[in-house]
């Protein structure tokens, strides 16, 4: 293969939407209404319909969406928030931002999602929320999560940043929790051309409160009911997201097809584990993550692919409890062995709408060659 395969390419997606985006940009430019206008209202309506929720509130980014979810639940100092030990650090930072203590729970070693059988043990008098993350686009076990949340009467806040359109049974992620967060960071399955995120909920009073909080605590200009923030999504991002949302189902199908191709090419390779998808889960493959078994030198593996023009990534190389940012929490290596083992043994392969079967086959063959097959 002569052309290198990047880890992520926007080329195909951008070509699909370029004409519509340029038209929308001109309309946006001439409208002279740049923040909290009709485009945002439109997108919020469109996304609610897509996500099968009653309310979507567009905000500045995914981390702010998470923080707002915790704020609306009045979570703060002295409270505890349960999150998986292997997730992007934003999930943890949102809780820390509120002054709450993060309580980490290990993932299931096969799905890499929070091990729901360990949650009850992590709950204390101070637990105020459980934040499942649908990692890489695979939904968590929402039946088990519901059961434990109901037993202990603790609200669920989904971090749906990686799973737009994923389903557990016949219900979409982002609609299970009391109030939920998502991100439209450019590289997500639904990505803006800059920063954006959203809060989704089926509760009117919660949506109203989030709308106040994102806009300085104000409904009417210069009258501030509560102490809020500036966490608004701008009109241009909203317009772009509405355009991209129309394509999302087709783009998701492409990701799923690419995953099928990968699995066909890789399932017989002895030294790697391909993604394990739970029975009731519809995975949307934000990432296609394989696990290399003991004995594989991961840097050599990545170097071999790189030399053959294939870019790979690690999601994520350092678990939260070993990040310097959390060194005051007295965690040490060995505290979360499953997360630590994953951080050492996983590799994310390229996956993006527009990738061809030939490219996947080439990656499969390059991996087989590495193992001398
Ligand atoms: C991307 C991401 C976030 C943060 O979203 P931003 O829009 O970058 O702030 C939070 N949680 C998870 C799991 C993510 O992947």
Kind plus residue range of the DSSP H or E element containing 333: none
pLDDT (mean) for 322-335 = 95
pLDDT (mean) for 290-309 = 96
Query: pLDDT tens across 82-136, in order?
Result: 999 999 999 999 999 999 999 999 999 999 999 999 999 999 999 999 999 999 9
Assess whether pLDDT exceeds 70 at residue 2: no
Q: Where are the alpha helices (DSSP H) in the chain?
A: 11-31, 38-51, 62-72, 90-97, 119-122, 142-152, 204-214, 235-266, 298-307, 337-345, 357-370
* Ligand 1 midpoint to CA 329 (Å): 22
DSSP output for 273-284: EPPP--TTEE--
pLDDT (mean) for 278-287 = 98
Kind plus residue range of the DSSP H or E element containing 25: helix 11-31
Distance CA 66, CA 83 (A): 12
Encoded tokens for 371: 């193992």
% of the chain at pLDDT higher than 70: 99
Predicted TM-score (pTM) above 0.95: yes
Distance CA 261, CA 277 (A): 15
pLDDT on residue 282: 98
* SS3 assignment, position 46: helix
Give the atom of ligand 1 at the shortest distance from the alpha carbon of 162. 15
In this prediction, residue 251 has a pLDDT band, given cuts at 50, 70 and 90, of very high
Please check whether residue 60 is in contact with residue 234, taking contact to mean a CB–CB distance below 8 angstroms: no
- The label of the residue with tokens 């996500």 reads 51
Give how far Cα 362 sits from Cα of 215, 239, 244, 257, 365, Å.
49, 37, 29, 16, 5
- Residue 157: CB partners within 8 Å, gap ≥ 6? 66, 69, 70, 73, 129, 130, 131, 177, 178, 179, 180, 181
Assess whether pLDDT exceeds 90 at residue 269: yes
Assess whether pLDDT exceeds 70 at residue 1: no
CB half-sphere exposure, 243, CA atoms < 13 A: 21
Is residue 257 reached through a cis peptide bond, with omega within 30 degrees of 0 on the bond before it?
A: no
Q: Is 173 in the pocket of ligand 1 (CB under 6 A)?
A: no
pLDDT (mean) for 267-271 = 94
* Ligand 1 midpoint to CA 230 (Å): 18
Q: In what order do the strands lie in the sheet with 346-349?
A: 272-273, 288-292, 346-349
Encoded tokens for 149: 């949340």
% of the chain at pLDDT higher than 90: 97
DSSP code of residue 232: B
Encoded tokens for 54: 């009653």
pLDDT on residue 294: 80
Distance CA 179, CA 213 (A): 14
Q: Is 161 in the pocket of ligand 1 (CB under 6 A)?
A: yes
Assess whether pLDDT exceeds 90 at residue 40: yes
Q: Is 93 in the pocket of ligand 1 (CB under 6 A)?
A: no
Q: Is 197 in the pocket of ligand 1 (CB under 6 A)?
A: yes
Q: Is 185 in the pocket of ligand 1 (CB under 6 A)?
A: yes
CB half-sphere exposure, 101, CA atoms < 13 A: 14
* SS3 assignment, position 347: strand
* Ligand 1 midpoint to CA 161 (Å): 5
pLDDT on residue 345: 97
Kind plus residue range of the DSSP H or E element containing 59: strand 55-59
Please check whether residue 305 is in contact with residue 364, taking contact to mean a CB–CB distance below 8 angstroms: no
Count Cβ neighbours within 10 Å for each residue of 219-232 and write b for 16 or more, e otherwise. eeeeeeeeebbebb
Assess whether pLDDT exceeds 80 at residue 55: yes
Distance CA 266, CA 366 (A): 11
- For ligand 1, pick from 85, 92, 162, 193 the residue to mutate: most ligand atoms within 8 Å of CB: 162
In this prediction, residue 295 has a pLDDT band, given cuts at 50, 70 and 90, of confident
CB half-sphere exposure, 169, CA atoms < 13 A: 7
Q: What angle do CA 42, 43, 45 make, to 5 degrees?
A: 65
Distance CA 361, CA 373 (A): 14
Write down how long the chain is.
Answer: 373
């Amino acid at each position: 293969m002569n052309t290198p395969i990047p880890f992520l390419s926007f080329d195909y997606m951008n070509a699909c939407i370029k004409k519509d985006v340029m038209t929308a940009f001109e309309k946006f430019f001439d409208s002279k209404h740049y923040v909290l206008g009709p485009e945002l209202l439109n997108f919020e309506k469109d996304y609610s319909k897509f996500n099968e929720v009653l309310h979507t509130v567009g905000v500045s980014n995914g981390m702010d969406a998470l923080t707002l979810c915790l704020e609306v639940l009045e979570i703060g100092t002295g409270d505890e928030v349960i999150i998986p030990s292997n997730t992007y650090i934003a999930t943890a930072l949102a809780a820390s931002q509120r002054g709450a203590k993060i309580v980490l729970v290990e993932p299931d070693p096969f799905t890499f999602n929070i091990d729901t059988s360990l949650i009850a043990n992590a709950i204390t008098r101070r637990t105020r929320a459980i934040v499942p993350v649908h990692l890489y686009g695979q939904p968590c076990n929402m039946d088990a999560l519901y059961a434990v949340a109901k037993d202990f009467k603790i609200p669920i806040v989904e971090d749906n940043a990686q799973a737009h359109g994923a389903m557990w049974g016949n219900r979409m992620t982002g609609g299970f929790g009391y109030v939920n967060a998502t991100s439209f960071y450019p590289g997500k399955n639904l990505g803006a051309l800059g920063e954006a995120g959203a809060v989704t909920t089926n509760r009117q009073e919660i949506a109203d409160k989030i709308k106040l909080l994102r806009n300085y605590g104000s409904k009417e200009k210069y009258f501030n009911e509560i102490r809020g923030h500036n966490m608004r999504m701008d009109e241009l991002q909203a317009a772009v997201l509405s355009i991209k949302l129309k394509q999302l189902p087709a783009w998701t199908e492409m990701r799923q097809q690419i995953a099928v191709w990968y699995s066909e090419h890789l399932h017989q390779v002895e030294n790697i584990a391909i993604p394990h998808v739970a029975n009731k889960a519809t995975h949307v493959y934000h990432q296609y993550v394989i696990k290399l078994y003991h004995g594989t030198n991961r840097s050599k593996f990545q170097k071999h692919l790189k030399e053959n023009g294939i870019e790979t990534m690690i999601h994520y190389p350092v678990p939260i409890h070993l990040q310097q940012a959390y060194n005051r929490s007295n965690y040490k290596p060995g505290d979360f062995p499953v997360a630590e083992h994953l951080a050492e043994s996983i590799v994310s392969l390229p996956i993006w709408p527009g990738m061809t079967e030939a490219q996947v086959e080439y990656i499969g063959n390059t991996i087989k060659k590495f193992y001398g097959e």
